[in-house]
Amino acid sequence: MHGKIALEEAFALPRFQKKTQWWASLFATDPAKHAKEITDLTDTRIKYMDQHGVGYTLLSYTAPGVQDVWDPKEAQALAVEVNDYLASSIKAHADRFGGMATLSMHDPREAAAELRRCIEQLGFKGVLVNDTQRTGADGDDMIFYDGPEWDIFWSTVTELDVPFYLHPRNPTGSIYEKLWAQRKWLVGPPLSFAQGVSLHLLGLVTNGVFDRHPRLQVIIGHLGEHLPIDLWRINHWFEDVKKPLGLKATCEKTIYEYFAQNIWITTSGNFSTSVLRFCLGEVGADRILFSIDYPFESFGDACEWYDTVQLNETDKKKIGKENAKRLFKLGGY
């Protein structure tokens, strides 16, 4: 399929080459190749895109990124540097690339202001945040964005009318020590990423963020971070037990309604035909978006799978490109 749009696609700053290699050595079988690919924003990518029928890519800063920086000033400076670097790197290729804003999530007002700058001045199409923001004197604490103090931020996201991508990051500090240190092979895609994002997303749902901001659009990757398989059970417990106990005060609609009105899932890093089919039934073709997760996954694996997966033509176009065009308002593309 030609003209596919991909939107969970990572880059890193060249000045972090060493850090990038170290990070890649944790999971990439060829860390040097990975580090090279992730620091190349356009040239290698365009070759892969042309080879595999990807017309347009939305680029975002790699995990854990700014969410790993617990000093608020340092985090804000890095976010601004990343956004300016991304804008200047893709400027000459506006027909092939769009930007997702990177934000320091220490302060809701500061995050909202940088998002506004990215959308209104740099022309970015959305925002991607890597789960919770590390905070505290030694970075061992974390900030969730589901409390009322974040309403100012979510109001800005909906006013600017851009989607918010909730991407995973690795567990750190005492959480890492308690849960994952003795189970280190489960960190990342096998388990910890999905646990982190599904907790945070259901926090947004149950703490009333979507009730207070009904137009908010949040995207999660990897075919829904394990949530679609559990929707029936979540719904059953919310509606039959938790709401009578008080959940109704902050969560008026059903989990199915939030998935139909506020939540999107992408195929990033999850190229399973049976899971996609399951998600078509549970989430629906109007809320699924093609993505790769490059360079953590390959163009070949993602695109050869998607190009040959048996779907009706309407759904294939929706998921491959039409939904993303609509959501990100890529009219001219």
The minimum distance between CB 168 and ligand GRE, in angstroms, equals 7
- Binding residue (CB under 6 A) for ligand GRE from 31, 72, 189, 203: 189
Number of residues that bind ligand GRE (CB under 6 A): 9
Confirm or reject binding of residue 196 to ligand GRE (CB under 6 A). no
The minimum distance between CB 293 and ligand GRE, in angstroms, equals 5
DSSP code of residue 179: I
Would you say 63 or 276 has its CB closer to ligand GRE? 63
The minimum distance between CB 82 and ligand GRE, in angstroms, equals 14
| Alpha helix ranges (H) inside the chain | 17-25, 31-39, 43-52, 72-90, 108-116, 151-160, 173-175, 192-206, 209-212, 231-237, 255-261, 273-282, 299-308, 313-317, 323-327
Would you say 3 or 189 has its CB closer to ligand GRE? 189
The minimum distance between CB 166 and ligand GRE, in angstroms, equals 12
The minimum distance between CB 26 and ligand GRE, in angstroms, equals 7
What residues contact 78, with CB distance under 8 A and at least 6 apart? Answer: 65, 66, 69, 102, 104
Would you say 169 or 318 has its CB closer to ligand GRE? 169
Confirm or reject binding of residue 63 to ligand GRE (CB under 6 A). yes
- Omega before 214 cis (within 30°)? no
Confirm or reject binding of residue 62 to ligand GRE (CB under 6 A). yes
- Binding residue (CB under 6 A) for ligand GRE from 3, 16, 17, 27: 27
The minimum distance between CB 310 and ligand GRE, in angstroms, equals 26
What string marks each residue from 274 to 313 as x (binds ligand GRE by CB under 6 A) or -? -------------------x--x-----------------
Confirm or reject binding of residue 114 to ligand GRE (CB under 6 A). no
Give the separation between CA 28 and CA 46, rounded to whole angstroms: 22
Would you say 234 or 265 has its CB closer to ligand GRE? 265
**Matching residue, tokens 């995973």:** 168
**Matching residue, tokens 């995050």:** 111
CB contact at 8 A, 231 and 252: no
Confirm or reject binding of residue 269 to ligand GRE (CB under 6 A). yes
- Omega before 168 cis (within 30°)? no
Residues 133-152 that bind ligand GRE (CB under 6 A): none
Which residues are known catalytic residues?
251
- Binding residue (CB under 6 A) for ligand GRE from 188, 196, 228, 320: 188
Would you say 206 or 268 has its CB closer to ligand GRE? 268
Closest CA to 126 of 253, 8, 279: 8
Helix (H) and strand (E) counts for the chain? Answer: 15, 10
What element of type H or E holds 128? strand 126-130
Would you say 62 or 83 has its CB closer to ligand GRE? 62
CB contact at 8 A, 167 and 197: yes
The minimum distance between CB 89 and ligand GRE, in angstroms, equals 19
- Residue environment code for 265-279, b if the CB has 16+ CB neighbours within 10 A, otherwise e: bbbbbbbeeebbeeb
Give the separation between CA 45 and CA 32, rounded to whole angstroms: 16
What string marks each residue from 65 to 104 as x (binds ligand GRE by CB under 6 A) or -? ----------------------------------------
Which residues sit at the interface with ligand GRE, rule CB under 6 A?
Answer: 10, 27, 62-63, 188-189, 269, 293, 296
